[in-house]
Amino acid sequence: MATDPQRAFLRHALATLAYRGSKAIRGAPESFATFRAADAADAARTPLEILAHLGDLFDWAVSLAQGEPAWRDAEPGSWAEETERFFSRLQSFDGILASEVPLGFSLEQLFQGPVADALTHVGQIALLRRLAGAPIRGENYLKADIQTGRVTSEQAKPRYEFD
């Protein structure tokens, strides 16, 4: 298990992303995956396209961490498949950070590239939930039970939600 405090902090950021991502993704109505916030198909991504991009980001993160950068735009599958892919790849990336293996890129680069971008996109999904008429409840995330290493879709119940 890595003892580097910077790795530990980045792993906590991934756990935070998993918590927030899980909340934004779970319980979405079936029609949400294809909801479009703008009429033109090229004006805005659908939630499914954003979720697939999250999977792409963590495929990329794994390749960066391994020192073999590769970007691939995957063709989106179903909402369930892309949810599984996102959390699976997030878990793979966390596993690399939890180890002592040397990284192909600095922790700062790994954060400012795929991780920061993923935080933005989880926020987009949450916003689209509201626009689609299926909002998630607000929450005081400071009080959330977020644990380093917990990067699957199985997350703790919210401690303090509000309307």
| Residue 114 three-state SS | helix
Gap between the Cα atoms of 90 and 148, Å rounded: 12
> Which structure tokens are listed for 34?
């294809």
Gap between the Cα atoms of 130 and 143, Å rounded: 23
Tell me the sheet residues that pair with 121: none
> Which structure tokens are listed for 16?
């935070």
**Confidence (pTM):** 0.95
Q: Which fold has domain 5-162?
A: Four Helix Bundle (Hemerythrin (Met), subunit A) (1.20.120)
The DSSP symbol for 144 reads S
- Residue spans of the domains in the chain: they are 5-162
Confidence of residue 163 (pLDDT cuts 50, 70, 90): confident
**What integer pLDDT is reported at residue 11 of this predicted model?**
98
pLDDT digits (tens, 9 = 90+) for 71-125: 999 999 999 999 999 999 999 999 999 999 999 999 999 999 999 999 999 999 9
